[in-house]
Amino acid sequence: EPEVTQTPSHQVTQMGQEVILRCVPISNHLYFYWYRQILGQKVEFLVSFYNNEISEKSEIFDDQFSVERPDGSNFTLKIRSTKLEDSAMYFCASSENLGDIKNEQYFGPGTRLTVT
């Protein structure tokens, strides 16, 4: 069964450093998403991406964040200058586009980002 994959599973970085989290969505999916879950808190939406541009974003997704689909398979989340409060589990998800906007989102296993 096709699945969303994410690398690395765990990333440790120092405050102020740039970090790139990588995701490979399911191959025929056209919508891509990033969510995060700070330890002990809710899963929060960050951004959605369709047709090579941001479709929706939350207030969390400020200028420090960016997303990119650099090739036909990867979808990345970049944090330019990490802060301690960016420590969280980051989930990538993807969904088809069949005209029904409530298509299921398929989630990856997550990348645990630790900022020290």
Partner 1 sequence: AQSVTQLDSQVPVFEEAPVELRCNYSSSVSVYLFWYVQYPNQGLQLLLKYLSGSTLVKGINGFEAEFNKSQTSFHLRKPSVHISDTAEYFCALTSGSARQLTFGSGTQLTVLP
* Residues binding partner 1 (CB under 8 A): 3-4, 31, 33, 35, 41-45, 48, 55-56, 58, 91, 93, 95, 101-102, 104-110
Shortest separation between residue 17's beta carbon and partner 1, angstroms: 25
- The DSSP element (H or E) to which 82 belongs, if any, is none
Minimum Å gap between C-beta 112 and partner 1 is 10
Helix (H/G/I), strand (E/B), else coil: 5 = strand
Closer residue to partner 1 (CB): 14 or 42:
42
Q: Which residue has the tokens 């689909």?
A: 69
21 CB contacts (<8 Å, ≥6 apart)? Answer: 6, 11, 34, 76, 77, 78, 79, 90, 92, 111, 113
Report the residue number, 87 or 90, with the smaller CB distance to partner 1.
Answer: 90
CB of 114 to partner 1, least distance (A): 16
CB of 99 to partner 1, least distance (A): 13
Which is closer to partner 1, CB of 71 or CB of 102? 102
Q: Specify the DSSP element, H or E, that contains 47.
A: strand 43-50
